[in-house]
């Protein structure tokens, strides 16, 4: 079935390709210290009302069946009267949303209108292996592929989807290809008075002509951080609420490499959910670190003061930067401004005693050791994980797998090879035809993951969720986790060890990797084969 035939299946088909509208109000002034082209100073100011994510339309009339198409393709998005951004988007939409419910069947056909192979990886969703969108199942330009699976019980949560082709993921993420997948529970336990908002955080770096800027060597070393930090495709949007409103902020960090150290002025945050859905009880937090790929479900009761203005922002976080250090790393980055209206105060909302029940996984049948390392050129004498983070990064690679670095003026559509550096798991760079571990479905596994490097890495596992059982910092003792959550992505600080327990329910080859996209692409990825 080709794309034209599919869209002709329903009179609503044309809506699938409706655009997201302009980002003219979305991208605001140039950051005072950023390296963005000066023309971007003409962009409108921030502070416009927060917009909801544009939806992918369900073409099915059947209850419990979501059918649609995803068409990744080049699109121009107006930024101002003088400038258009040239992005790659699903269905012409900036960060589109698919919303379904536990028990629904999701039936989505990918029509690849890019000039590069691609996939759709359903990040955080328990799917059969054939539906995972891993690099082995890439879709060639002009071809299509159908993804079809049922959202099982206990799959409720805020997930997301993004491409995952071999040696192409970083480029496609940098061009804007990502979307949110919200799975509603069969029955919601939170009161209706809670005011819910989905926030997808992403970033962009553009050239003066609106094209996506090429990767630099620092991008490959550290993970790309674009200077335009966006929420739902907007720059510093505003959310107007009544005083005392209880907000539910459901956040996706869809950035390739940027860490979000979240604080809300004059407010305490309450974490109520993670990657795999709700946790048992709210956990009060002064701040929350959200790494690339992670999701967080937060509750906050807004101040009872009328006409207040409170900034949700990402604060500086030191994650072991290598090479030339951009100024924005040391600056507070505003995400969203919450304004309280001159109105009556909303009463506090009462929550149930337990939001969810998380059954601890039992004693493991299998124990594994996973080590994350980096190898810098001309620093092999230091050993893996001990290279100089401030050294120049020229010369030969440990594995000889990468070519010369990017030219500064290289067009993104004609990228040069990444710099010569390897990010490894158990001393090996990822290869499509290699399997690191073999396991059995339905067995409890315990992985001790060791970040034997000087920089943070967010560790992500496909095909399942895990529980963090205990942690051990560089020179500390093992500490049990104070509470349980279902996770698929977790941060690894330098020289930290984590014990993770998980069960793979579906057979197949499943990836695990660093979710800094560039590190994954440079080799920090491996495969477990589950029988």
Share of the chain above pLDDT 90, in %: 79
- Tell which residue, 55, 49, 54, has the closest CA to residue 26: 49
Instruction: Fill in the DSSP letter of residue 211.
Output: B
Provide the greatest CA pair distance for the chain: 67
**How is 442-509 classified by DSSP, letter by letter?**
T-EEEEEEEE-SSS-EEEEESSS-EEEEEEE-TTS--EE-SS---BSEEEE-TT-EEEEEEE--S-EE
Mean per-residue pLDDT, 11-35: 37
**Spatial separation of the C-alpha atoms in residues 166 and 523, rounded to whole Å:** 11
pLDDT tens per residue across span 249-260: 999 999 999 999
Mean per-residue pLDDT, 189-207: 96
pLDDT band at 81 (very low <50, low <70, confident <90, very high): confident
Mean per-residue pLDDT, 77-88: 88
pLDDT band at 43 (very low <50, low <70, confident <90, very high): low
pLDDT tens per residue across span 140-177: 999 999 999 999 999 999 999 999 999 999 999 999 99
How many CB atoms are closer than 10 A to CB 488? Answer: 27
In 286-410, which ranges are E strands?
288-290, 295-301, 309-314, 333-340, 366-375
Q: Which residues contact 384 (CB under 8 A, 6 or more apart)?
A: 373, 374, 375, 424, 427, 452, 453
Task: Tell me the pLDDT of the chain averaged across its residues.
Answer: 87
Q: Give yes or no for residue 202 having a pLDDT over 50.
A: yes
Q: Give yes or no for residue 350 having a pLDDT over 80.
A: yes
Q: Give yes or no for residue 233 having a pLDDT over 90.
A: yes
pLDDT at residue 44, as a whole number: 55
pLDDT at residue 11, as a whole number: 31
pLDDT tens per residue across span 416-467: 677 778 899 999 999 999 999 999 999 999 999 999 999 999 999 999 999 9
pLDDT at residue 46, as a whole number: 74
Mean per-residue pLDDT, 165-191: 96
pLDDT at residue 416, as a whole number: 62
pLDDT at residue 475, as a whole number: 86
- Give strand pairing partners of 100: 183
Q: Give yes or no for residue 405 having a pLDDT over 50.
A: no
Element (H, E) at 384: none
**Spatial separation of the C-alpha atoms in residues 516 and 458, rounded to whole Å:** 7
Domains of the chain: 3-184 (2.60.40.420), 195-340 (2.60.40.420), 366-530 (2.60.40.420)
């Amino acid at each position: 079935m080709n794309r034209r035939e599919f869209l002709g299946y329903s009179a609503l088909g044309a809506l699938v390709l409706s655009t997201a509208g302009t980002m003219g109000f979305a991208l605001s002034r140039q950051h005072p210290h950023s390296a963005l082209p000066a023309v971007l100073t003409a962009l409108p100011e921030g502070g416009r009302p927060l917009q909801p994510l544009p939806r992918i339309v369900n073409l099915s009339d059947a209850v419990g069946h979501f059918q649609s198409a995803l068409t990744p393709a080049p699109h121009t998005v107006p930024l101002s009267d003088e400038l258009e951004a040239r992005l790659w988007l699903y269905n012409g939409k900036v960060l589109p949303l698919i919303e379904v419910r536990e028990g629904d069947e999701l039936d989505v056909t990918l029509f690849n209108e890019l000039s590069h192979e691609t996939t759709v990886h359903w990040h955080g969703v328990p799917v059969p292996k054939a539906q995972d969108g891993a690099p082995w199942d890439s879709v060639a330009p002009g071809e299509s592929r159908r993804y079809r699976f049922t959202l099982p019980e206990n799959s409720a949560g805020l997930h997301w989807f993004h491409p995952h082709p071999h040696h192409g993921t970083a480029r496609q993420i940098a061009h804007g290809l990502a979307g949110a997948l919200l799975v509603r529970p069969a029955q919601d336990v939170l009161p209706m008075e809670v005011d819910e908002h989905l926030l997808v955080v992403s970033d962009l770096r553009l050239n003066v002509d609106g094209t996506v800027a090429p990767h630099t060597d620092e991008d490959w070393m550290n993970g790309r951080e674009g200077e335009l930090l966006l929420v739902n495709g907007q720059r510093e949007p505003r959310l107007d609420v009544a005083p005392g409103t209880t907000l539910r902020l459901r956040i996706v960090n869809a950035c390739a490499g940027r860490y979000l150290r979240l604080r809300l002025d004059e407010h305490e945050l309450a974490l109520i959910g993670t990657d795999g859905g709700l946790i048992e009880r709210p956990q009060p937090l002064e701040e929350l670190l959200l790494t690339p790929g992670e999701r967080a479900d937060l509750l906050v009761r807004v101040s009872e003061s009328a006409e207040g203005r409170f900034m949700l922002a990402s604060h500086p976080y030191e994650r072991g930067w290598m090479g030339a250090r951009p100024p924005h790393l040391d600056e507070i980055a505003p995400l969203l401004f919450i304004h309280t209206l001159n109105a009556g105060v909303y009463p506090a909302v009462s929550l149930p005693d337990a939001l969810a029940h998380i059954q601890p996984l039992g004693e493991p049948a299998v124990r594994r050791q996973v080590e994350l390392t980096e190898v810098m050129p001309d620093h092999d004498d230091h050993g893996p994980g001990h290279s100089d983070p401030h050294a120049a990064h020229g010369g030969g690679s440990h594995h000889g797998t990468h070519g010369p670095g990017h030219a500064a003026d290289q067009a993104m559509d004609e990228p040069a090879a990444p710099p010569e550096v390897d990010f490894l798991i158990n001393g090996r760079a990822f290869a499509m035809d290699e399997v690191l571990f073999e396991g059995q479905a339905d067995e409890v596994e315990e992985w001790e993951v060791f970040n034997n490097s000087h920089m943070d890495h967010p560790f992500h596992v496909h095909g399942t969720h895990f529980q963090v059982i205990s942690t051990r910092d560089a020179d500390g003792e093992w500490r049990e986790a104070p509470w349980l959550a279902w996770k698929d992505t977790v941060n690894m600080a330098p020289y930290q060890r984590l014990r993770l327990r998980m069960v793979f329910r579906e057979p197949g080859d499943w990836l695990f990797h660093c979710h800094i996209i560039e590190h994954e692409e440079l080799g920090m990825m491996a495969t477990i084969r589950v029988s």
